[in-house]
Amino acid sequence: MDLNMVDKSIAVLRETFSTGKTRSLAWRKTQLRALIKLVRDNEEEIFKALHQDLGKHPVEAYRDEVGVVLKSADYSLNRVQKWMAPRKGDIPLLFFPANGEVMPEPFGVVLIFVSWNFPISLALDPLIGAISAGNTVIVKPSEIAQNCSSFLANTIPKYLDTEAIKVIEGGVDVSEQLLQQKWDKIFFTGSQRVGRIVLTAAAKHLTPVTLELGGKCPAILDAKSISSDMKVVAKRIAGGKWGPCCGQACISIDYVLVEDNYSEYLIDSLRRIIRKFYGEKPEESISLSRIVNRNNFDRLSRLMSDPLVANSIVHGGSTNEEKLFIEPTLLLNPPLDSEIMTEEIFGPLLPIITLKNIQESIGFIKSRPKPLVIYAFTQNETFKKQILTETSSGGVVFNDTMIHFICDDLPFGGVGQSGLGRYHGKYSFETFSHEKAVLHRRFFPEIEPRYPPWNSFKLQFLKAAYSFNYFGILLMLLGLKKEN
């Protein structure tokens, strides 16, 4: 794109926002309905683009992208009127007669940076929140998922308001140009490295930012308490590792923590599940997404090239550079200081770390940056409470993986290095809204003790007021309490 078009596009969006049309309920609902129609009309085109960019099967594409967007848009469409309404705020009786309210208002012109691993849902799901809140929007798709980027750029203008919602394609140069502009809100999904760049650029204009990043999401396996359910657990671990985009997901399991004497059983169980999911020759499976590009293929291959890491491989490890294929791979106790255990993997490699006692998993996780999500398989209620109270993460899921992502009533987001802010459902609306405090008061009665000149009576009055001692205030006002 011509970089001059960036300035022109932003100017159009600012002019549109200034007219106030995006604030109306009618506009918001019209756009949400149009977005639903966009997805339904173009389902096959979306499947095609996702397969071209990432090798996603239509079932995976619907589960993780199309279905997510349709559900989210319908959820917002049915609730946006309620979300828009000011909500009552309690005002101290001291200020009677008065009333307060909290009024949501749109930020203005917002920028949404999209990640390549879920290039449709991570574009349209935040867009749903931005529209619901009444903003004008620029969506910047990832150039890495080229076909999905082209689909969004060509299709969104056919369905949505082109004066309020625009798609700008391009590479790093366009992203840099966008970050130089003044925005009212930036929503970014991607790596921690780029997230720091976005946050630094936003600081120039004190722009509020939501960062959906990632990190090393652990799975704790308390095998003693769930031994009878181990087959289900192994299936859910496999689904949470290789199911979402071949492990190229911020909520993918990054490593498993398990006690020593259960590790072989876990490995054997995962081997069986891998064969069940992807057959004897995973390279030929249509159910396993591929690595997105050569750079990521080389990075993942390098993680396994460390001799000590290579020696820890207990299943898989094969690659095909031409097909950008890396086999689902299990590693038992790779060195904890190796890159595979210090950097987010973002691929189909699964380290299994053994502990003498599963209680040690809490200290292990606490010694590392806060993850986006902790998965814990346990029936031990005491252990569950320990995990919740002694660790910090964006979220916790017990006895399953990833399903919290599609729960609109649960906030999704990270903490610390795994992210800043949250979205989904009403939380998306709130992420793209400013909550404005409004207080209405009449001219009578006037509260004289709030004004100089000061005296001891006014001090006692204010002490009573701040402690909500309204009976004491009444006594003072009636002259029944003498000054000290």
Model pLDDT for residues 252-268, shown as the tens digit of each residue: 999 999 999 999 999 99
pLDDT at position 94: 77
Mean pLDDT in residue range 328-350:
97
pLDDT at position 479: 63
Q: Is 217 a catalytic residue?
A: no
pLDDT at position 2: 61
Structure confidence by residue, pLDDT tens digits, 418-456 = 999 999 999 999 999 999 999 999 998 888 888 999 999
CA distance 194 to 435: 28
Confidence of residue 407 (pLDDT cuts 50, 70, 90): very high
Average predicted confidence (pLDDT) for the chain = 95
Task: Report CA 84 to chain centroid distance, whole Å.
Answer: 22
pLDDT at position 423: 97
What lies within 8 Å, CB to CB, of 232 at 6+ separation is none
Instruction: Write b or e for each residue in 203-230: b if 16 or more Cβ atoms lie within 10 A of its Cβ, otherwise e.
Output: eeeebbbbbbbbbbbbbbbbbebbeeeb
Catalytic residue selected from 60, 212, 259, 327: 212
Which range, of 2-16, 115-129, 304-318, 392-406, averages the lowest pLDDT?
Answer: 2-16
- Residue 18 main-chain phi, psi, to 5 deg: -65, -20
pLDDT at position 3: 65
Coil vs helix vs strand at 189: strand
What lies within 8 Å, CB to CB, of 422 at 6+ separation is 210, 394, 411, 412, 413, 431
Which range, of 445-449, 464-468, 471-475, averages the lowest pLDDT?
Answer: 471-475
Task: For each of the domains in the chain, give its residue range(s) and CATH number, in order of start.
Answer: 3-213+423-435 (3.40.605.10), 218-412 (3.40.309.10)
Q: How far apart are the first and last CA of the chain?
A: 76
Structure confidence by residue, pLDDT tens digits, 36-82 = 999 999 999 999 999 999 999 999 999 999 999 999 999 999 999 99
pLDDT over 90 for what percent of the chain? 88
Confidence of residue 480 (pLDDT cuts 50, 70, 90): very low
Confidence of residue 227 (pLDDT cuts 50, 70, 90): confident
Higher pLDDT: 115 or 477? It is 115
Q: Is 250 a catalytic residue?
A: yes
pLDDT at position 364: 98
The DSSP secondary-structure symbol of 116 reads S
CA distances to 64, 200, 288, 443 from 118, in Å: 8, 25, 15, 56
pLDDT at position 309: 95
pLDDT at position 477: 64
Catalytic residue selected from 250, 259, 327, 430: 250
Q: Strands, DSSP E only, in 243-304?
A: 253-259
Task: Indicate if the pLDDT at residue 478 is higher than 70.
Answer: no
pLDDT at position 145: 97
CA distances to 73, 135, 137, 384, 434 from 163, in Å: 21, 11, 9, 50, 22
Structure confidence by residue, pLDDT tens digits, 105-125 = 999 999 999 999 999 999 999
**Structure tokens that stand for 390 in this block:** 């002694």
